[in-house]
Structure 1
Amino acid sequence: MVDITPAAGEAPHRVELPTCRIGYVNPLDIIDTCPYEFYRLAPDNAIASMISIGLSGFSGDAARQAVDSNLTRCLAQLAKRRVDFVVLGGLPMLYNLGPDYSAEFRERCRTEFGLRGGTSIDAVNAAFRALGAQRVVMTNKWDDQLNARVADSLASAGVNLVGTVAQAHTADQVKSSFEQGVDVALRLVERALRQHPDADCVFIAGGAWLVAPLVADIEREFGVAVVAGQQAKIWYSLNMVGNHVDRPAYGRLMTTPAQPSHLA
């Protein structure tokens, strides 16, 4: 809170300013779903500082080029903004960078920039632990090669992935309308749960779909928990700075405070 000096004859008043700043390094040049979801899920005292790493494609080479060319600049600028925590997003990019990259990123944030940090892979793994997910089915718009990397990563984190239902896409299809994204996401979730009725959690991977408004409805209709990539990233970063707030309209994860064992 800050005191605002009033004009002569007016009563003094106070204004609440942000006290928590989260930095997000997002993959693509256009960043829209992340801020849309952040300001619905975060408490009023939180503000997001977002910057793009300039990912140009979905291959491993494109992922490495984006990190090598632009990550230093992104982290340096967020350090100047004095963010409390920084998250490197872009699940396809991160899975393509390999199983050790999240630890490498956290260490680089700490040693080179004095920042606390984590990745979207750290976020989704923490979300599965917090929800106690035992049998996870995944839906996304990725190809078989990338999904094989995801399966390996989840297995190494102790996540029991019982199946994947995907609709592969081209880069241009990522920019489809929100309505198309919602339709595709719902159809894939329904197909996944028909094929794997014993699943207790659906992992809607990636951030290009705007799925936050769907999560609570999916959980009510199918009786499963939902972990969505963008939502998990925001939930994780807020919990890492002790700034969790319940948002029951957006599903179970947003009413689940993380414990230290979930975030480790």
Structure 2
Amino acid sequence: MIPGIPEQQLGYVLPVGVADGVHHAFYSVCGLEVNMVGYPGVLAAFSRADGERALESAWPAMEFLAERRVDRIVIGGLPVTTSAPPAFVHELCAQATEHFGIPVISDAEDTVMAVRALGARRVALATKWSPDVVAGVREHLVDGGIEVVRDFALPHTAQQVVALQPEEGFRIALELADGALGTGDPVDCLVLGGGAWFVLPAIEQVEQRYGVPVVSNIAASLWGFLDQIGRSPVTPGWGVLLDRLLVSSTDA
């Protein structure tokens, strides 16, 4: 081990070219002893058609990340990873895992596994995407054995999302949670879609307000990475999902 040199690395295929929220979330949760290698994505619009186009560009991105000797590759951005049927995405990740010899997973798969790890089966879904993108997210959750009781959306364009100031992202996350959880039948969990904006700081506040765990796709991917490499978050306060790793490390 060389001081200042990261011990493990997460390779992340970013959905868009500008994703400061993803980088901030990674280092806030995982610390400086690990590194995130991001590869800029090509998503230009929140639509299933453009998501499919972005998904097709994943192979050269993964080739680059594998050459950087990362320990895990995440294909990020639910508008990308849910643009194709679940079986197609599962097969893509399985083929890439075999080809590169390291775990490759989509953040859609990370999200499903995180929800199931919390014991949740009935969820509310809150997003800032168009109806066709939301339909794709629903399809992947249902494929994972999760019932989407209701969904709430405040549609934004991709350009609007990357232009959000941090405090705006925080406010929108709270608005989305209020819209999804403020009325209706009880649910086990809130799935809060988004990673390229500052969604993570809102999670604990939402959990305290409504008494249910919150899973965002970026939190799910960080949880999957830390669990794989046997690390825990550097600080608590990022929500029930990530705090479970702190409890696990204490028990160990």
TM-score by length of structure 1 reads: 0.85
Deviations along 1:43-63, one digit per CA (max 9) or x if unpaired, are 443111111132222333322
Equivalent residue, structure 2, for 1:214: 202
Identity %: 31
Deviations along 1:116-159, one digit per CA (max 9) or x if unpaired, are 21110111111101211132111111122222222222111111
* CA–CA separation in structure 1 for the residues paired with 2:7 and 2:47: 38
Letter in 1 for 2:20: D
Deviation at 1:246, TM superposition (A): 6.4
* CA–CA separation in structure 2 for the residues paired with 1:196 and 1:240: 36
* CA–CA separation in structure 2 for the residues paired with 1:56 and 1:217: 31
Structure 1 stretches of 5 or more lacking a match?
3-14, 259-264
Deviation at 1:186, TM superposition (A): 0.9
* CA–CA separation in structure 1 for the residues paired with 2:159 and 2:43: 14
* CA–CA separation in structure 2 for the residues paired with 1:96 and 1:205: 14
Deviations along 1:145-194, one digit per CA (max 9) or x if unpaired, are 22222222211111121100111222332123222222222122112212
SS of the equivalent of 2:172 reads helix
SS of the equivalent of 2:179 reads helix
* CA–CA separation in structure 2 for the residues paired with 1:35 and 1:25: 12
Matched, 1:153 2:146: no
Letter in 1 for 2:144: A
Letter in 1 for 2:180: A
Contact 2:44 2:159 in 1 (8 A): no
Equivalent residue, structure 2, for 1:132: 119
Give 2:171's match in structure 1, choosing from 158, 167, 183.
183
Contact 2:44 2:158 in 1 (8 A): no
Structure 2 stretches of 5 or more lacking a match?
247-252
* CA–CA separation in structure 1 for the residues paired with 2:224 and 2:235: 14
* CA–CA separation in structure 2 for the residues paired with 1:30 and 1:47: 18
Contact 1:23 1:48 in 2 (8 A): yes
Give the superposed CA RMSD: 2.0
Equivalent residue, structure 2, for 1:236: 224
Equivalent residue, structure 2, for 1:38: 26
Q: Based on CA coordinates, which of the two structures has the bigger radius of gyration?
A: 1
TM-score by length of structure 2 reads: 0.89
**Does 215-224 or 29-38 show the bigger shift?**
215-224
Note the 1:83-98 alignment, pairs <5 A: 83-98=70-85
Contact 1:137 1:196 in 2 (8 A): no
SS of the equivalent of 2:83 reads helix
Contact 1:185 1:209 in 2 (8 A): no
* CA–CA separation in structure 2 for the residues paired with 1:201 and 1:220: 13
Give 1:200's match in structure 2, choosing from 149, 165, 188.
188
Contact 1:85 1:241 in 2 (8 A): no
Letter in 1 for 2:78: L
**Does 80-89 or 133-142 show the bigger shift?**
133-142
